Amino acid sequence: MMRIVYCLLFLLSAQVIRAQKIDADLIRIKQRMDSVKHFSATVTLDLDVPFIRMPTKKAQIKYTKGSRMKFSSQDFVMLPKRGLDFSMNEIFKHPFITVDRGQEKRNGKTLKVINVIPTDAQSDLVLVTLYMDARASRIMESEINTRKDGSYTLLMQYAAANNILPNYVEAAFAIERLKIPFNFMGKDTKIDRKKMRSMDTKTGKIKMRLSNYDINLG
């Protein structure tokens, strides 16, 4: 009986040790992202929400290492609550462990899957699942669960094999209690509040196409 208990303890300890080791491919991705000190780009933005009608918009995006991305536009104001920042800074803001979940095929490409589990109570993230292109050292998809703002996913596409930053980002949200993670202001934007109230689950997507990158590498 004691031998069985010792075996179980050994297996549990081995799992904890494996979990506490930060994934090497994720470290390489972080180092690659850290090389970007600043960038700016033009964003063509489409909103896919059943109760909001908004024509295609143009905006400028600016990023400085260590800060959140900032959006600006002449004809509307966008205040993203969460989810449009594809720099993944928030993942690395607090201590965490990673767990290897093997590989998965997405869109014909084999991706490495890991869980990122924050170990600091100050982190608003509960669990992050990353789908990584280990060969290109970049994140292709992420599923992010938070304590306060629900969950969302990010899908990223890149124009060239060696690009650090994506040329397309699609953020998908499933927010309960009318808690939309962004706020749009614009005369040509229409909100169907009756339809909004009738929906049990509010879902939507933000589709961003990025161009005219100006990247400053350190």
* pLDDT tens per residue, range 113-163: 999 999 998 998 999 999 999 999 999 999 999 888 778 899 999 999 889
Strand spans (E) along 16-85: 36-48, 52-53, 57-64, 70-72, 77-78
Distances 5 to 8, 10, 27, 140, 144 between C-alpha atoms, Å: 5, 9, 35, 41, 36
Other C-beta atoms closer than 10 Å to the C-beta of 130 total: 25
Give the integer Cα–Cα distance in Å for 161 and 201.
37
CATH code of the domain occupying 24-217:
2.50.20
pTM attached to this predicted model = 0.82
Q: Does residue 4 surpass a pLDDT of 50?
A: no
* pLDDT tens per residue, range 179-213: 555 555 566 777 777 877 777 767 788 899 999 99
Query: In this predicted structure, what is the pLDDT of residue 144?
Result: 92
- CA 97, 88, 157: angle at the middle one, nearest 5? 120
